[in-house]
Structure 1
Amino acid sequence: MATVDTLRFATAGSVDDGKSTLVGRLLHDSKSVLADQLEAVRRASRGEGPDLALLTDGLRAEREQGITIDVAYRYFATPRRRFILADTPGHVQYTRNMVTGASTAELTVVLVDARNGVVEQTRRHAAIAALLRVPHVVLAVNKMDLVGYQEGVFEEIAEEFAKYAIELGVPEVTAVPVSALAGDNVVEPSARMDWYGGPTVLEHLETVPVAAGPADAPARFPVQYVIRHGERRYYAGQVASGVLRVGDRVTVHPSGETSEIAGIDVLGTPAGAAHASQSVSLRLTDQRDIARGDLITAGVDAPTLTQDVRAAVCHLADRPLATGDRVLLRHGTRTVRAVVRDLGGADRLAVNDLGRIVLRTAEPLPLDDYAVSRRTGAFLLIDPADGATLTAGMVALTAPV
C-alpha cells in the first residue's frame, strides 16, 4: 500500500481577491466539508447558494468586518495526499500573519484579481515567499469570470508575475486561471477556459513534489531532552534536516566534541536511520556532556559557530525593535541573550516591517544560512521581560546589512 504524504501550503492575496472563496471552493468541491458544517454555512449565507468563504472565515468578528484577520489552519485530504492549509490575511497590516503561516509551507498560493492584475501587495507576498524560501509558488489568477475568461488577460498577469518572481529568486511558479466563485479550475477543469491546458489548483497540489528536505541537506539534530536510563543516556528531539544513521560520526555544538551514533530509536523501536521531521532518540558510543539546546550534526557540512548574527527579519510585535535593545534569541532548542547592534541603517522596526539586522549573542551559536536549512537557519527574538515573541529571523551569514 502506497504511503500518503502531507503537503503544507499557505494562501495569500490582497483584500477582496477572493482568497476565502477559493479555499472554501477547494474544501467544498474536494468533498472535505462535513454535512453539518455545510448546513451551518448555508444558514449564515445571505445569497441563494452557500457563501463558501464562510468555511474559512469562521469567527464572528471576522464575518462582521468582512476580512480574515488571523491565520486559520485547515486540515483536509484526498485519496492522493493529506494537506495542512494556512489561510493567511491579505492586508498589509497583517504581513506578520503571512510570515507565520508560510514559514513552514512547502507551497504558497498567491491570489490575484484578474481585474486588477499584479499590485503592490502581490509583490509583497511574492517577496515574503522568496524571503522564506518557499520551494513552490502557485499564482491563482482569480475572478476570470469577471473579465470574460479572456486568455490574454491571464497571460499578461502571469508574465508580469513570473518576471518579478525571477528577480526575487523564486525557484518555481505555476500560474492557473480560476474563478473561485464559479468553480473553474479549482478542483474541476473549466469548460469555459479550454485554451488553458495546465492542471487545476487541486491537481497541482496533489502532484507537486513534497520532501521533508533536500536529499543532500546537512544532518542537524537539536537536542530537546536528555533521558537517563541506568548508565545510558539518550538524546531526544526532532531531526531538523538531513539523515542520521547508526555508525555516523557526529559533532556536538557548541562544544565541538565528537562521537559515533550507537543506536537510534523511533517511537521506542530500534531503527537504522532517522530522517528529517522524525522525532527520535539517539544513543552515542561515548558519554558526553550534552544538554538541551546543543546541536548534533553529521557529515562535513558543519554549521558556522558565531556570536555575530546577520539576518533578514520580520518584526511581529506591536512594540518596536530598536538598536541597542537587549533580547533573548531562540535558535532551535537553545535560548541565549543577545543585543541588537544594527537594523540595516534604520532606527527601529515597527510591527509588520521587513528589514535586516545584526545581533551580538552572549554565547556562540551553531548557525546555518537560511538558504541551506529553513529549520537551523531560523530564529526568534523574545522579550526577556515578559516572554513575548518580538521578531522572526532568517539567517544570512554572508549578506551585507
Structure 2
Amino acid sequence: MDINAIKEQFPVLNQEINGHPLVYLDSSATAQKPLSVIEAVNDYYRQDNSNVHRGVHTLGSRATDKYEGAREKVRRFIHAESSAEIIFNRGTTTGINTVATSYARHHLTAGDEIVITPMEHHSNIIPWQQAAKATNATLKYIPLQSDGTITLEDVRKTVTKNTKIVAITHVSNVLGTVNPVKEVAKIAHENGAIILVDGAQGAPHIKVDVKDMDCDFYAFSGHKMCGPTGIGVLYGKRELLESMEPVEFGGEMIDFVNLYDSTWKELPWKFEGGTPVIAGAIGLGAAIDFLNEIGMDKVANYEHELADYAIERMNTIDDIEIYGPEKRAALVTFNLKGVHPHDTATVLDAEGIAVRAGHHCAQPLMKWLDVTATARASFYLYNTKEDVDILVDGLLKTKEFFGNVF
C-alpha cells in the first residue's frame, strides 16, 4: 500500500489546525471521505437527482440503477447470498433497533434470554434492554477477562437452551478487541439462538464474510468506512427477514393499500419505507469500490502493523494507562495519570491532533474499567507511523504542561 498516495485522496487531511498539519486520529467515530466518494455524491445531485423506483423517466431510471447497484456492491462486499438480504437504513443503530423491535419483541417470552457483553456500544445494549423489558426476557452478560477479551468457555457457560438472541460486537470501539464471532455464532446456533453482530467497527477494517461467519444479522454504518453519514446496512438471513414485520410504514414499502389493510413489498424494500438515503447509498457504493481497489486484506494487515507500532511507542510514556488486549484493532484507548482525558484531547487539538475523549458510548465498560472517561486514538488506512510519532510527542507535551501546572 502506498499510504502517501492514499492520503492524498482525502482532501480534508490537507489542512492545518491551530497552525499544525492535521493528524486525524478519530476514525472510529467517523472516517474521512476520499474524493471518489465525494464526487459520486456530487455527481448524483448534479446529474441524476431523482427519487428511485417510482418514475419511468430517465433521471429516475439512472438514480434507481445507481441505488440498486450500490446494494449489489454491498452484497459482494460482505459475501451475502442475495441482494434481498441487504437492507439500507440510517446506520448500525437503526439496524440493531430493527432486529430488537421486529424480531425480538415478536419471538421472546418470559424466561427467554438475550446474551450480550459489557464491551458493547450503547446502541447494542439499550435496544436489548428495552426488548427484555417489553417481553419479560432476561438480559445476560458474557464476562470479560482482565484484558477485555471473552473466552469461548465463558460463552458456553452463559449461552443456554433458554437463550434466544446473542448480540455481540465484531470489534470493540473502546478496547479494540476482535471477538471470535464465528465461534460464538456456532455456540448460539447449537443452543437454538440467533446471533446479531454489530459490525460498525468491523466492516471498515476486516474482510467480512457473513456466510462463513454464519451470523443471522450483521449491522454496519457507511460513515465509518469512508462513506457518507446517514447510510447504513442491515444484513439478515432471508428466511428471518421474510418472517419479520416492517418497523416503518408509508410509501415505497407497500405492495397494495386499501382503506383498512395493506400488504408489503418483497425484500428488501419492505424495510425501506419512505424516500431512502439515495445519495448516501451511492456514496457507500463508491466507498466500497475504493476499499476493494486497495484490498481489505491489505487494509487489515497495515492497520495491525500500525496498532502494534502505536502500542510500542505509547508504552514508552511514563504514567500512561492503555486499555485492552495486546492484539487489537487499529485503536488505542488510554489515560495519562492525573490528567482528565478531555484536557488531554484539548492539548492535543492545540497541536493539530484529533482524538476522542469521553465514555465513547460505552458507560458499562467504563465502569468495568473503573474510570469515568478515556482518550482514544483510532487509526485508518490514511494514517502513518509518523502520525503515531506526532501523537506521542503531543502526549509528552501534555504531560509536561500539566506537570508544570500542578
Output the TM-score relative to the length of structure 2.
Answer: 0.23
More helix per residue: 1 or 2? 2
Query: Which has more radius of gyration?
Result: 1
More strand per residue: 1 or 2? 1
- Of the two structures, which has the highest relative contact order with CA contacts closer than 8 Å and spacing of 6 or more? 2
Output the TM-score relative to the length of structure 1.
Answer: 0.23
